[in-house]
Amino acid sequence: MIQQWANLGTANGCLSAQQQDSLRHCFGVCECNFQVSLSSFILIALLMKTSAPYSFQFQAQELPQKLSQLSQQPLTGYWLFEFPGLAGTNVANQWYLGLSKGQVVFSGNQHCCWSVLFETLQRYTARLRNGDAKHAILRLEQQLMLTHPDRQASALLDLLHELNELNLLNLEEVRASLRLKMLSDFDTYVFEYAGQAKFLPSSSSDAPLPIVGFEMDALVSQAKERRVLWQKLKTLIPSMEHVPTLNAAAAKLSQLNAERKQRLEALVADNKTLSEIAVLLAQDPLEIAKFFAKLMSEGLIKLRSSPTTKGVEIFVVDDSPILLKQFESLVRSWGYCVRSFYEPMLALEALTEANPAVIFLDINMPEVTGFDLVKQIRRLPGLESIPLIMLTAEKSLSNNWRARWSGCQFMSKPLTSSEIPTFRLELRTLLTELAPLQQPTQFSGRRSEFQMETSY
């Protein structure tokens, strides 16, 4: 089976000989260990070019039909969906759906890259969050960063193989994680909003990241089924941003044993939203909603609105609308609130009423430079020591020195697509240090203890 699929990849021009060797090396082990047919885990590179781009507009409720129609075309590249109605909200207003020969291989708020893939795997695979796994992944990521862009597809296969060898990840977990990420994005974007779409064909400069493939029609069908379930749950679960609280009197009279009561108390003790609990338990949000709906129907749980606090806020000031849009989409996807400013003076005005955790500033802006803006920000009450990060495409020692002399940190903007993963990792590391998000307390209970039979 492995040899046949590798030969097919050669015939279609999908994989280089080097990538084929990595594929045989990786899945020779996976097929032996997990007894899973290779046909259920098709890894293909996003390299084929499409002759002409496509674009269309759609109204709310029209996108499912459009997606079904798209499945008839064996395209390779990205569909970019833009939703103007989501601008200014905490939901990213851009959605990328990656295709390879018509199969869906990626879903997210930016192009696929190795760091995005591992974020998805960690989101839905709880055992990737322990200390040993984090240390191993960090080491492997550092190795991948040093790999030439032309070899990153093969290196990624080797990396997945090593995670498998370390017993940190298996084939079914990869497949399940990517599928749940896709369905979660379908839940968010497909049914509620109007917008526009355009197809972005892949090119030889795109990093060829191997991804599991899913049929578009199957995803649309599953999304429709999930839609029905969400609508039925809405009377009990109006929003995943509500906070569950325990009805102590009802719990005392319930049939739950002492251990389960204790675990349930621990689960709701930290005032987490349902969405945060889903992340904590590495679960599908729909399954969490079904579980808590059952508890509510039994009187064990009540919901209350989440606190009105805005969360960790980040400011970014740049005269490039494209950079602002990409930065905002990326940082919001990590859970931050982002306010972007094209005009420096508007940012200064907003700072009189806001208290961001970090401010990112472009150095080279017309009229007011980033260094001039630093001086004005430092004069504002309460902002004398706020972290300031200078952004520039000019990687000069003088800019670096001036930034540090001004009490700022310095980051170089990526100039090529191959530099984006490194920039993204540096940005995420910097935000984690300067503006850490509240991390959910590790819950010691086993997930299976909280899985109850539900019928909706």
Residue 393 tokens read as 């495409």
Provide the token pair at 395: 């990687």
Please name the helix (run of DSSP H) or strand (run of DSSP E) that holds residue 216, with its range, or none: helix 216-233
What the block records as the tokens of 49 is 């070019």
Burial of 371 by CB count in 10 Å (0-12 exposed, 13-18 middle, 19+ buried)? middle
DSSP 386: -
Instruction: Give the count of beta carbons closer than 10 Å to the beta carbon of residue 340.
Output: 18
Query: In the sheet where 337-341 sits, what is the strand order?
Result: 337-341, 313-317, 358-362, 388-392, 409-412
Q: How many CA atoms lie within 13 A of 441 on its CB side?
A: 10
Query: Strands 337-341 and 313-317: what pairing?
Result: parallel
Beta strands in 208-346 (DSSP E): 243-246, 301-304, 313-317, 337-341
β-pair partners for 390: 361, 410
**Coil, strand, or helix at residue 451?**
coil
| Token duo for residue 346 | 């508007």
Q: What is the CATH number of domain 313-434?
A: 3.40.50.2300
Query: Residue 181: what pLDDT?
Result: 96
Please report the pLDDT score of residue 449 as a whole number: 39
Main-chain dihedrals φ then ψ at residue 210, nearest 5 degrees: -75, 130
Burial of 376 (0-12, 13-18, 19+ CB in 10 A): middle
pLDDT on residue 397: 58
Residue 230: predicted pLDDT: 94
- State both tokens at 75: 């395209």
DSSP conformation class of 86: G
Residue type, 394: E
Q: How far is CA 330 from CA 176, 298, 435, in A?
A: 24, 40, 15
Tell me the β-bridge partners of 99. Answer: 77, 104
Distance CA 350, CA 367 (A): 19
Strands 313-317 and 358-362: parallel
Strand, coil or helix: what is 235?
coil
Per-residue pLDDT of the chain (456 residues; tens, 9 = 90+): 333 333 333 333 444 455 445 444 444 444 344 333 333 333 333 333 433 448 999 998 899 999 988 878 888 889 999 998 887 677 888 999 988 888 899 999 888 777 788 888 889 998 888 877 777 777 777 776 676 666 666 777 777 788 888 888 888 998 999 999 999 999 999 998 999 999 988 764 453 355 678 999 999 999 999 999 999 998 889 889 889 999 888 888 888 888 888 888 888 888 888 998 999 899 999 999 999 999 999 899 999 877 654 568 899 998 887 788 888 888 887 888 888 888 888 888 888 878 899 999 988 787 777 788 888 888 888 887 889 998 877 666 565 566 566 678 888 888 777 788 888 888 988 888 888 876 443 333 333 334 433 333
**Nearest to 417, CA basis, from 178, 156, 21, 111:** 111
Q: Cα–Cα distance between 160 and 26 in angstroms, integer?
A: 8
Domain boundaries, the chain: 43-49+107-228, 234-308, 313-434
